[in-house]
Amino acid sequence: MSDDELEAIRQRKLAELQQEALRRQHEEEQRRQTEMKIQSILRSVLTEDARARLQNIKLVKPELAQAVEYQLVSLAQSGQLRTKITDEQLKNLLAQIQGRKRDTKIRFKRV
């Protein structure tokens, strides 16, 4: 291979890497904007206590918190929430969502 061919290959590879970096940056920016929009909606539909509880749950069970967030955002966007969700109401919602999951119990029989 000549130096010109090697340089052309390097340039193509560099261009590909730059395109990939731009794509990732764009995706990250979209993810950040979506998260900001979700947090804004949650601030408008949850009381301070309820938001604090949701943040604590997010630390322990992120998938449960995400399910609750999506459900609250969906309800808010469809206009079904008339007042702010209180901590007690959030507890009930969490209980409903957790109740949907099947609990796995292991029983030991001792003989």
- CATH number of the domain that residue 54 is part of: 1.10.8.140
User: What percentage of the chain's residues is helix, strand, coil (to nearest 5)?
Assistant: 75, 0, 20
The answer to the question of residue 87 being in a domain is yes
In terms of Cβ atoms closer than 10 Å to its own Cβ (0-12, 13-18, 19+), residue 12 is exposed
Band of the pLDDT at 27, cuts 50, 70, 90?
very high
Residues 6+ apart with CB under 8 A from 49: 86, 87
pTM of the predicted model as reported, rounded to 2 decimal places: 0.67
Phi-psi map region of 61: left, alpha, beta (phi>0 left; psi -120 to 50 alpha): beta
Q: Look at the chain and report how many structural domains it folds into.
A: 1
Is residue 62 situated within a structural domain?
yes
**46-96: per-residue pLDDT in tens?**
999 999 999 999 999 999 999 899 999 999 999 898 889 999 999 998 888
What's the rounded Cα separation, in Å, for the pair 99 and 67? 13
In a domain, 104, yes or no: no
